[in-house]
Amino acid sequence: GDVLYRSSSDADIAQDAVITGTVTKLPAQSNFIYGIILTLANVVGFLGFVVAGLVVLWLARGVGSRATGAILTRPIRSLLAGIGIVIVFPLVVALLAITLVGIPIAIVLIALGVALFIVGAVPAVTALGNLVLFRRGGLFGAFLAGAVLWRLGIWLIPVVGGALFVLGLVWGIGGWVLGAFAARRGDPTPAALMPAAVVAGAEP
């Protein structure tokens, strides 16, 4: 009849063995359970990122829109700012941590670093969604579309997926920095985030 086995390697079947049915190989039990756990962790992580991103965009709409606009209008500057922050930030935390007075500040910066690791990629992801939706869907719609594409790229592309995660994180952090400065200066909402019809109607 049929042969159904579970193993991490192929079965060694004797040449004179007579199998009238089909031979089916299932993944090893440990690998199977690990795969389920990993899949659930990825799904939960993605949902957590989406919820955190929507919350931070709603709470900091001014900075978030300007951060996304900075990536769309000044991509190189945003990327360089993100690289600079990623390099300098750990050094500053380490220098503060070795001093008695700087330990409380270092703890605050570590908490900020954890928050940036969670939602740092939000502006970059929103900028991606904005381009895909052709400047339609608003800030939140662009974020949702970009989040799906970004995570699919991370999951489906074996080697490049890690690079996509780092690129989105670094680029997004740079966008947050430029967006914070733009909000402090009171710059208007970037035209790149507004529908083309609205921008055209506002032009004299």
> What is the pLDDT, as a whole number, of residue 193?
64
Closest by CA position to 192, among listed 69, 109, 62: 69
Phi-psi domain of 167 (left: phi exceeds 0; alpha: psi -120 through 50; beta: other): alpha
> What is the pLDDT, as a whole number, of residue 191?
63
Sign of CA dihedral 67, 48, 169, 143: negative
> What is the pLDDT, as a whole number, of residue 31?
63
Task: Tell the burial category of 185 from Cβ atoms under 10 Å away from its Cβ (0-12, 13-18, 19+).
Answer: exposed
Tell me the whole-structure pTM to 2 decimals: 0.76
Task: Tell the burial category of 16 from Cβ atoms under 10 Å away from its Cβ (0-12, 13-18, 19+).
Answer: exposed
> What is the pLDDT, as a whole number, of residue 192?
61
> Residue 18 and residue 15: Cα distance in Å, rounded?
8
Written as tens digits, the pLDDT of the chain (204 aa) is: 788 887 777 888 888 888 888 888 877 666 667 778 888 888 999 999 999 999 999 999 889 999 999 999 999 999 999 999 999 999 999 999 998 888 999 999 999 999 999 999 999 999 999 999 888 878 899 999 999 999 999 988 877 888 999 999 999 999 999 999 998 888 887 766 655 443 344 344
